[in-house]
Amino acid sequence: MGDYSEAIADYSQVIYLKPNDAQAYFNRGITRVELGDKQGAIIDYNLAIKLKPDYAEAYLNRGNIWQIFGNYQQAIADFSQAIKLNNKLADAYNNRGNARRSLGDNSGAIVDYNRALRIKPNLPDTYNNRGNAYSALGNYREAISNYNRALELNPDLFLTYNNRGATYVELGNFEAALADFNRAIELQPNFANAYQNRGIIYQQLGNLSKALEDLQKAAELFEQEDKNSESKRVKEAIDKIQRDVQ
C-alpha cells in the first residue's frame, strides 16, 4: 500500500511539473486502481485521453473500470474505441466479449473472443471465456473443448475446472464433473461455488451426508463474501435435503 501511495505522489509531482504529460495521468490511473480508487482512476484516464485522444490503452483501462461498475454499454464503447485506435489489442477484444456476454450477447462475445485469439492464440482466460459463451448457448461440446485448451495452457485455472464441471453436469457426466469440482477446490479451498456444485452432484448421486457437508461449507463461504442471496439459496437447498431425509 505504501509503495502505491508513494507512486501516486511521484506521478502527481510529474504532473505538477508537466501538466500535459498524458503518460503520467495514465500511470497514476493504473496506480489508483491498485489502491481501490476506481473513480479517481477514471478521472485520470479521462485527462490522459483529453491530452492524447488516440490513447488506445487509456480507453481500454477505462473500459475495464466501467465493466467492474456494471456499466457494460459504456465499457463496450471504450473497448470499441480502443480497437478502432489499435486493432491489435487482444485484451480489448477479450474484455469487450466479456461485456457483451454480461449483456446476454453470447454470439457477439464469441466473435470477439475469436478475434482476440487470432491476435494471441495462447490466452487461457479467453478460451475459458469462450467456453462460457458456448455453454450459455447450449453448445456444451464446444465449451468443453475450449475449457480443455484453457487448462492445457494453464493447469491452475480453478474457475475453468468449475466451469467445465458445470458443463459436464449439463451433459450428464457426473463423474467427470465431480473430478473437476474436486480439482477446483484443491486449487482454491475457499471457492464457494465449487462446494455448492459438488454438493449438488453428491445429492444427485444419493450421497446426502457429503451433499450437506459441501452445501453447508458453501453457505458459510458465501456469507463470508457478503453474498447473502447466494447463501440463502444454498441454505434453502440444505433445508430441503434435511426435510427429505426425515
Q: List pLDDT tens digits, range 75-94.
A: 999 999 999 999 999 999 99
**What's the average model confidence in pLDDT over 15-31?**
97
* Cβ atoms of residues 133 and 162 within 8 Å: no
Confidence band for 153, pLDDT divided at 50, 70 and 90: very high
Tell me if 25 is assigned to some domain: yes
d(CA 129, CA 6): 36
pTM: 0.92
d(CA 16, CA 165): 53
* Cβ atoms of residues 19 and 50 within 8 Å: no
d(CA 116, CA 123): 8
User: The C-alpha cell of 90 is what?
Assistant: 487482444
Tell me if 220 is assigned to some domain: no
Q: What is the number of other CB atoms lying within 10 angstroms of the CB of residue 137?
A: 14
| CATH number (domain holding residue 33) | 1.25.40.10
Tell me if 16 is assigned to some domain: yes
Report the pLDDT value the prediction gives residue 96, as an integer from 0 to 100.
98
Report the pLDDT value the prediction gives residue 244, as an integer from 0 to 100.
77
Tell me if 13 is assigned to some domain: yes
Q: Count structural domains, the chain.
A: 1
**What's the average model confidence in pLDDT over 142-155?**
98
Structural domain of 30 = 1-53
Q: What is the number of other CB atoms lying within 10 angstroms of the CB of residue 162?
A: 25
- Residues ≥6 apart with Cβ < 8 Å to 233: none
pLDDT tens digit string along 201-245? 999 999 999 999 999 999 999 999 999 999 999 999 999 898 877
User: Please, where are the H alpha helices in 154-205?
Assistant: 158-170, 174-187, 192-204
Tell me if 20 is assigned to some domain: yes
The amino acid present at 109, given as its one-letter code, is: A
Report the pLDDT value the prediction gives residue 180, as an integer from 0 to 100.
98
The amino acid present at 35, given as its one-letter code, is: L
Tell me if 206 is assigned to some domain: no
Tell me if 12 is assigned to some domain: yes
Tell me if 32 is assigned to some domain: yes
Asked whether the predicted pLDDT for residue 108 surpasses 60, the reply is yes
| Position with higher pLDDT, 2 vs 114 | 114
The mean pLDDT value of the chain amounts to 96
Q: What is the number of other CB atoms lying within 10 angstroms of the CB of residue 30?
A: 17
d(CA 29, CA 137): 37
User: The C-alpha cell of 168 is what?
Assistant: 459436464
Q: Is 57 helix (H, G, I), strand (E, B) or coil?
A: helix
